[in-house]
A and B are shown apart, each in its own frame.
Chain A
């Protein structure tokens, strides 16, 4: 059965700090790894990664995938209070289903 484990489960930082969120996975027939941000309701898409070693970047957020070691990291630099959310990692495997981890709750204090 496909499995996604995120760490830490919860993180509290101050504005301006840099954070690294981790996602490790076990999946049959890996196709993609996705990061989502969930604030009040619906998860919103951040990145999709399919190849090892290629960094995806959007503003202060960046992510990279290591398919050999089966993990990905999401970095957020110069955090702001608006970054407070649950960050979800998901892996696309066999049969096209997306398996999600339980998420990392990030709280950024002013």
Chain B
């Protein structure tokens, strides 16, 4: 168990809908990353938050947004869902020390299926 908790584990929803994925980082970790993993694309970096503020942005669609709350949990919001958004969404957290040796630990992921 990495100490990173993601909910829900599975989500099935229809096209056009909106969903929220939740992540609780390991105790003491200030940094949260979101990744999307599909069969053909591997792990794609979406976005990173550090202590409540957005720090880095990857290939995140405009239909997607995220935030990190004062208690450091994070949510990833996916809207106007399309079939192609079906994937495994991972959250990872790290405690960033020494200017960023980013040893990140992953949650178990949320499997999103859009039908």
Contact = CB atoms under 8 A, between A and B. Distances in A.
Nearest to A91: B102
B48 interface: yes
A97 interface: yes
A48 B56 contact: no
Contacts of B106: 36, 42-45
Contacts, number: 73
Contacts of A90: 43
B101 A50 contact: yes
B45 A96 contact: no
Contact of B50 (A44, A88, A96): A96
Size bracket of the A interface: 20 to 34
A44 B55 CA distance: 23
B2 A97 contact: no
A22 to B, nearest CB: 16
Contact of B55 (A41, A43, A88, A95): A95
Which of the listed residues B44, B58, B88, B102 has the most CB atoms from chain A within 10 Å of its own CB?
A: B102
A67 interface: no
Interface string B22-39: 000000000101010000
Interface of A: 31-32, 34, 36, 41-45, 48, 50, 88, 90, 92, 95-103
